[in-house]
Amino acid sequence: MNIETKNLSYSYDTSKKKTNFALKDVNVKIDNQEFLAIIGPTGSGKSTFIQNLNALLLPTIGEVVVDEYIIKNKIKIKNIKQLRKKIGIVFQFPEYQLFEETVEKDILFGPKNFNLVNKNNDLKEMATKVLDIVGLNASYLNKAPFELSGGEKRKVAIAGILAFEPDVLIVDEPTAGLDPIAANNMMNLFYKLHNLGKTIILVTHQMEHVLEYANRVIVFNDGTLSYDGKPWDLFSNLELVKKLNIDVPNIIKLYNLTCKKYPKLANYKVTNITEFIKYYKEVMAL
């Protein structure tokens, strides 16, 4: 599934004589099976952008093209449910959206809403399958969501999105509030889903995750698109990082300091601590 925004601008209030735009003339193409990270300061337009991708918000100016669907202002979208089935959004703290009596009922809410359930479906098998994908077993099916830990609730919420089999999974600050181990497990889950063929769009403030997992990053500043390229090219350019007012991953800081003492390390691209240790040992052995 390919997604393209054409001159996309969005305003939450067009009643004033001078319209303030949360998004301004954004042109982006997102290819099938990409792992795209979206970063930028709070209020820069990231969440507004992702909500335009499946018509939760309609463009004030411009359009969004998702395969055969065209999302424009004041134009009715035929079969909008099918569009939203293709693009699933997991909002920040999705566990707050759990409301059913059991985990199984929560997971099956989406498939029922999209009319994916019929007499030939084995509902328990469907729920068990997505639980397994997020790393939980069938024993969770009959548990009440409020009895689960924060990380478990988030996994159940994600399982509920996966149950209606979207082609694109958008995750907004998915590791917020999680401890480092739970956060790494969550990111490994998204990487696993990416390897299974899904397009992943990650909105985050965690620059380490951008560097390690994404194959492309876009940066928003004040509603405009300021950068579109490879994470390594961004974070290794300290002048550009400073200009865009974003943080440098800690591993890049360590890498830069070490390169001053061991210049040969600069021949390697490091995206995580495991790679850093590996390449550091190789340089020391020379």
Residue 18 has a pLDDT of 65
Six-digit token string for 204: 């985050």
Domains of the chain, residue spans: 3-97+165-248, 249-286
Give the span between the Cα atoms of 249 and 52, in whole angstroms: 29
Give the span between the Cα atoms of 115 and 221, in whole angstroms: 39
Identify the CATH class of 3-97+165-248: alpha beta
User: Tell me: the pLDDT tens digits for 57-74?
Assistant: 999 999 999 998 999 998
Q: Are 174 and 202 in contact (CB under 8 A)?
A: yes
Is the pLDDT assigned to residue 149 strictly greater than 70?
A: yes
pTM of the model: 0.92
User: Any idea what DSSP says for residue 206?
Assistant: -
Is the pLDDT assigned to residue 223 strictly greater than 70?
A: yes
Is the pLDDT assigned to residue 121 strictly greater than 80?
A: no
| Mean pLDDT along residues 231-252 | 94
| Mean pLDDT along residues 184-198 | 93
